[in-house]
A and B are shown apart, each in its own frame.
Chain A
Amino acid sequence: MNKKDFLKGLGLGAVLFVLFLAILFFSGDLSASKFIYVDF
């Protein structure tokens, strides 16, 4: 694996981690979460 691919992978991993943390700590009301377009 070259350095460029490694950095790309690292960047993607960092984005995934930040998104995961944001979902974990800043989600709205999970019990009431419902997609607008589903079940119509």
Chain B
Amino acid sequence: MIFNTCWFLYFFIIFYALLWLIPNARVRLLFVLVSSAVFQYHFAGPAGVAPIIVMAVSTYFLARWMDQLPIGSPQKKRVFILALFVPIIGLVYYKYRALLIGSAAGLIGGEAGKVLEPYAVPTALPLAISFFTFEFVHYLTDVYLGKGKSIGNFFQFGIFSIFFPSVVSGPIKRFQPFLAQLGEGLQRPKLTLAALGLAQVLLGFFKKLVIADNATMMIHLLEKRTDLSFGPVCFLMSLLSIRILFDFSGYSDIAIGLGKMIGLALPVNFNFPYIARNITFFWRRWHMSLSSWILDYIYIPLGGNRLGPARKFFNLTVTMFVCGLWHGASWHFGIWGIYHGLGLTLHNAWEKTGFGGRWAAWDPSRWFDIALTNLFVAYGWLLFFYPMDTVFKMTRYLFRF
């Protein structure tokens, strides 16, 4: 929900009219911050807001402290680890506790397992905790590495943390380019940019309400069928591919368009991913703010491709497993991530063979590559959307065994 609710429509109309009427840039910035807090409180409620406030306050003060310590000092490292600990533990507690304890209880079994079971009940998830965590981890890491100064102005830190167009589902912002757009306050948006922003918002709603939601209705009809076979499962995979692309790129268009209307640019999230020639290019075009985040804050710190082929394979698999689990607290998301990790590794190995290089240089191979990449991604959506027993059933229909 969120953007496609009447509450949001009324909220934004009133917010936007008032934003244009405010003559002072500083007051305008404060107004956007207060409106973002109202938005967050409305959708998350007091129970959802409290953990986010704890995470934000801890991130703000520990980053300020870290900034005052010399680069490379052991004390700075300790503060950095402590600062990371708060949002990561928050995310694990709220999002993954039930999954981890439930799985442990299942593995242990017997009386000991039964003791754990009451702790495996999921709690209500604070709205957007996954996005908060990723943005705070980025902020803290970049301050620790000296890639940016900590934010001293509490209003600017607030707007980075809870800017309402991007707070719920991204795009995942980087604080340096985002805050560079603010001077002493928030300038009034240019009329042309605001009109383009409105067009992007409408395009996003079109993608979501017309394309993704109609695809969803057809998917639900297919899911009810008991006589599935090769053709309908292929059709289902195509519909899932359409649904998730237009759902999430529609969401991103709405968020980016709203940002433009307000006068703050947000990062691009999708760049025609289904025309990618291989799985590596696919991840450079799909959910780009997430893929660049996992590259910078998981893959490279693990060693990236600097420690030999075996370690690169391990790093890719672990990175994509975390990326998968980030999408939801269920093992099938992790398996979807590993599936993509294996795909990336295989593609990497293929590219290094002489035949792979010659194949890529032959121009007509492009169309075969695009088709193969889409098939790989489409089968992956089965892993993303369904539990493993359903995926096995669908796979049996696909290969007739």
Segment of B97-105, B199-207, B296-304 in the binding face = B199-207
B247 at the interface (CB under 8 A from A): yes
Question: How many whole Å from B254's CB to the nearest CB in chain A?
Answer: 9
**A1-40 residues at the B interface, CB under 8 angstroms:** 9, 12, 15-16, 19-20, 22-23, 26-30, 32-40
B169 touching A35 by the CB < 8 A rule? Answer: yes
Find A16's partner among B4, B202, B247, B329 (CB 8 Å cutoff).
B202
B328 touches A30 (CB 8 A): no
Give Cα A28 to B217, complex, Å. 7
For residue B90, give the distance in angstroms from its CB to the closest CB of chain A. 15
Are B248 and A36 closer than 8 Å at their CB atoms?
A: yes
Task: Say which one of B56-64, B208-216, B363-371, B392-400 lies at the interface with A.
Answer: B208-216
B242 interface residue per 8 A CB criterion: no
On chain A, the residues within 8 Å of B130 by CB distance are: 40
Q: Please classify the interface of chain B as helix (H, G, I), strand (E, B), loop, or mixed, using the class held by over half of its residues.
A: helix
With a cutoff of 8 Å between Cβ atoms, the chain A residues found around residue B361 in the complex are none
B1 to A: closest C-beta gap in Å = 6
Q: Are B1 and A35 neighbours in the complex by a CB distance under 8 Å?
A: yes
Q: Interface size for chain B: under 10, 10 to 19, 20 to 34, or 35 or more residues?
A: 35 or more
Contact A23 B206 (CB under 8 A): yes
**CB-defined interface of B102-133 with A at 8 Å, one 1/0 digit per residue?**
00000000000000000000000101001000
Instruction: Tell me whether B3 is interfacial, beta carbon within 8 Å.
Output: yes
A16 / chain B contacts, CB cutoff of 8 Å: 198-199, 202
B213 touches A28 (CB 8 A): yes
Q: Interface on B for A, CB 8 Å cutoff?
A: 1-4, 125, 127, 130, 168-170, 195-196, 198-199, 202-203, 205-206, 208-210, 212-217, 243-244, 247-248, 251, 327-329
- Other A-B pairs, 20, CB within 8 Å; known A22-B206, A28-B213, A37-B327: A12-B195, A16-B199, A19-B199, A19-B202, A19-B203, A23-B206, A28-B212, A28-B214, A29-B217, A32-B213, A33-B1, A35-B3, A35-B251, A36-B243, A37-B169, A37-B248, A38-B169, A39-B1, A40-B327, A40-B328
